[in-house]
Amino acid sequence: MTGVSRRFGALQAVRDVSFDVMPGERRAVLGPNGAGKTTLFNTICGDFPPTAGRIELFGADITRLKPHQRTRLGIGRTYQTSLLFNGLSVLDNLFVAVRGLRPRRFSFLRPGRDDPSLAQARALADRMRLSHLLGVEVVNLSHGQRRQLEVGMALAGDPRVLMLDEPAAGLSPGDRPELLRLLRELPRTLTLILIEHDMDIALPAADIVTVMKDGEVVVEATPDRIEDDPVVQAIYLGGGH
Ligand SMILES: Nc1ncnc2c1ncn2[C@@H]1O[C@H](COP(=O)(O)OP(=O)(O)OP(=O)(O)O)[C@@H](O)[C@H]1O
């Protein structure tokens, strides 16, 4: 992305952000509340276009494309607020995601036992270590298991770029290592961009870290340099977080 900015009226939420993410890279975007991380994500996913700048995906200009067009080109994402269907089981949620259905239509399209989408949904459950919970309704899952399911749902469209918005938010300390393990197990055919407040997740999961503050990129560095970076220390220890 080059020179990406987003205004909301007088507020400049993202200001002139440029970076390249290489195929297979793990990129974490860190920064205090209000730094512009989610807004930047939204410009990449197409929830709203940037007010200036250009976003390319594998060489194609996607700056003005709609979210579903970007999904078709290979961008998958999770949201800060869960989009799981609480009344459906783990397997049914994954089936709905694989088929790209809305849950209302699900009742008309219950899968037959040999449905290939069902096999795909089971495989996703396996990857997300949820195979033992296939029949469990989402309301009965732990917070960590929901996060695992959300990542599985985002993978259902077989994206080439997976964007995760604060995957560790609200997780108990016990659930964090499992999430980190899942993230680290994702294949390198997938490019990963994650917003994460929790450095204990972000740093081990990332190859490179972009730190934002007040809409701008203030540091870009490898994880081993981030904690000692004076700018990052000023942001995180100085009460900005
Ligand atoms: N739809 C919107 N309309 C108006 N202002 C918005 C909108 N979305 C975000 N903002 C503002 O843009 C700024 C950046 O917000 P953003 O949510 O991108 O930050 P963030 O770094 O993701 O923060 P957090 O960690 O709290 O999610 C904030 O001042 C926010 O109030």
Alpha carbon of 19 to ligand 1 centroid (Å): 20
With 0-12 / 13-18 / 19 or more C-beta atoms within 10 angstroms meaning exposed / middle / buried, residue 103 is middle
Q: Could you identify the atom of ligand 1 that is nearest to the CA of residue 6?
A: 12
The CATH superfamily label for domain 2-74+159-237 reads P-loop containing nucleotide triphosphate hydrolases (3.40.50.300)
Query: Which residues of the chain are under the pLDDT cut of 70?
Result: 80, 101-111, 237-241
pLDDT score at 77? 87
The reply to whether ligand 1 has any atom less than 6 angstroms from the CB of 34 is yes
Residue closest via CA to ligand 1's atom 3 equals: 8
The reply to whether ligand 1 has any atom less than 6 angstroms from the CB of 107 is no
Tokens found for residue 177: 């290592």
The reply to whether ligand 1 has any atom less than 6 angstroms from the CB of 213 is no
Interface TM-score (ipTM) > 0.90 = yes
Residue closest via CA to ligand 1's atom 10 equals: 13
Element (H, E) at 108: none
- Taking every pair of Cα atoms in the chain, the longest distance, rounded to a whole number of angstroms, is 58
Global pTM reads: 0.89
- Residue whose structure tokens are 């890279």: 25
End-to-end CA distance of the chain: 26
Tokens found for residue 196: 């994460």
Alpha helix ranges (H) inside 102-175: 103-106, 116-127, 143-155
Q: Could you identify the atom of ligand 1 that is nearest to the CA of residue 36?
A: 18
Give, in order, the Cα–Cα distances in Å from 113 to each of 45, 110, 151.
34, 9, 24
